[in-house]
């Protein structure tokens, strides 16, 4: 396993999660999200991730997170994993998720 895969950046694992019907959560601010997004993604800004843990758990699907660069989505992935959500992937930038 490569270092990038360990941290949830593995291209094949993200593609597989998307194939399995993963929910895509964009953790950018609303104004950033409104300027461009992955179709069918939902917007939960990073500062609201913790208050949406139960909602995300209730989705019962893999979660692919994205943002502008991968930094905030990485933080969100750590928060979700530390709260018991195991099938979480840091997709990096929303543009890279869009290309998958």
Give the tens place of pLDDT for each residue, 38-84.
999 999 999 999 999 999 999 999 999 999 999 999 999 999 999 99
Q: Number of structural domains, the chain?
A: 1
Q: For residue 32, what are the domain limits?
A: 3-99
Name, in order, each residue with C-beta under 8 angstroms of 76's C-beta and a sequence gap of 6 or more.
Answer: 25, 27, 46, 49, 65, 67, 90
pTM over 0.95: no
The pLDDT value recorded for residue 11 is 58
Give the CATH number of the domain where residue 66 resides.
Answer: 3.40.250.10
């Amino acid at each position: 396993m490569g270092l990038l895969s360990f941290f949830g950046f593995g291209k094949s694992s993200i593609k597989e999660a998307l194939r399995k019907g993963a929910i895509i959560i964009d953790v950018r601010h609303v104004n950033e999200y409104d300027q461009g997004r992955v179709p069918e993604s939902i917007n939960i800004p990073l500062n609201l991730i913790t208050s949406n843990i139960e909602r995300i758990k209730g989705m019962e699907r893999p979660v692919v997170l994205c943002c502008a660069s991968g930094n905030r989505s990485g933080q969100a992935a750590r928060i979700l994993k530390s709260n018991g959500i195991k099938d979480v992937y840091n997709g990096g930038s929303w543009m890279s998720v869009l290309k998958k």
